Homo-oligomer: A and B are copies of this chain.
């Protein structure tokens, strides 16, 4: 395949009834999409389709007529309903021929797992003529890359590359990263540089209003907003045509910093808990949580960060008021007069926990995550958090919407953010 055209655009087709029936989540599309993005290849569509001759052939033809590259996964197995290779070859007008090397690889695969190769597997070594063949180090089905000349209405000469990959992620991913990606890196034209700005404590629409002018006038770099539960994220992407292009991203980030200030917890790839962990770790500070409504979720989330045992000493899940009193020393006076969901209770919980577990910082969370078993006049979504450290204790009152799970998740994020903001003060 010398004399290759540049690959600008791609589509992903995932073949499999198990996807159409909702039996498995399509992580292949996600993986390939993110690979394409990092290669600077535009991806306009992903399609999931079943093992049906006519529909699959139609789809490959349509995708190949409008994109430079079509990545297909699945349907390369040995059984009669695995038809992707055969259908794709037919669309491209190629004959299937026996690939001796693939047959050998397959036989040695079976020798390695001490089994005889079933006759049906030979079918998997039948590949389109004039293909680049990708051997499968982790299974039997080889992959293949070949050209298909499918004229489009605008471009009679249009040619696309078809790349066929096995369905199991454990076979597909290593095949793509070690064999397909290096080829695609030679075939594409532009380079992209991407940076992420991550915010907490500001809603998506409010955030966008503050930078409407930037979004409206964007050409290069482009600015794309994303919202996830309680968090807000902007992706800034610069397109390079040559390597010595000047940096257009930093000025945009500086504008973001001016307009959002402390809402920005990260410019880069770290999550909120990773940022908090790094800050605590760097200052050699220890942490504990006193959790009521979140019931261990804050601590459980925090230890996702590798190395967290250097920072998190432990936590008290004080779901019942008895535990709040007995272990954290919350007073009867506060529980009876203010209730367990109150500013005062949050303060006593944080201070009591810090003392009990002897940590530098302790954060308490008490709130109403969902309809309560106990009668209360306080609204669902009301949460109090307190942070106790050497400088004293601060409290935060928040009102959250959504179901039980969301209230708890956002409360946990808020707890992390309280720690972050407090540590920023340490520096000044």
Give residues in A with beta carbon < 8 Å to B.
Answer: 17-27, 29-37, 43-50, 52, 55, 59, 77-80, 109, 112-115, 118, 120-121, 137-139, 168, 170, 174, 203-206, 208-209, 215, 224-229, 289, 291, 293-300, 302-304, 306-310, 312-320, 322-323, 327, 356-358, 369-374, 379, 381, 399-406, 408
Q: Are A296 and B320 in contact (CB under 8 A)?
A: no
Residues of B within 8 A of A30 (CB): 19, 22, 24-26
A225 and B79 contacting across the interface, CB-CB below 8 Å:
yes
For this chain, the copies found in one complex come to 2
Among candidates B17, B226, B379, residue contacting A112 with C-beta atoms closer than 8 Å: B379
**Which residue of chain B is the closest to A291 with respect to CB atoms?**
B296
Residue of B nearest to A79 (CB): B208
Query: How far, in whole Å, are A316 and B319 apart by their CA atoms in the complex?
Result: 11
Given contacts A79-B208, A120-B209, A138-B406, contact A314 B304 (CB under 8 A): no
A199 to chain B, nearest CB (A): 15
* Interface residue from B21, B55, B224, B227 paired with A33 (Cβ < 8 Å): B21
Cα separation A31 to B34 with both chains bound (whole Å): 22
Contact among B52, B118, B307, B357 for A205, CB-based, below 8 A: B118
State the CA gap A371–B408 with chains docked (Å).
29
Chain A contact residues: helix, strand, loop or mixed: mixed
A178 to B298, CA, bound (A): 30
Q: Residues of B contacting A77 with CB < 8 Å?
A: 204-205, 227
A50 touches B55 (CB 8 A): no
The docked-state distance in angstroms from the alpha carbon of A289 to that of B299 is: 14
Instruction: Quote the shortest CB–CB distance from A356 to chain B (angstroms).
Output: 8
Q: Bound complex: CA of A302 vs CA of B296, how far in Å?
A: 10
Q: Are B205 and A121 in contact (CB under 8 A)?
A: yes
Instruction: List 10 other contacts, CB 8 Å, given A21-B224, A137-B403.
Output: A22-B32, A23-B34, A29-B48, A79-B205, A118-B205, A170-B405, A170-B406, A295-B300, A299-B317, A314-B322
Q: Give the chain B neighbours of A229 by CB distance below 8 A.
A: 168, 170
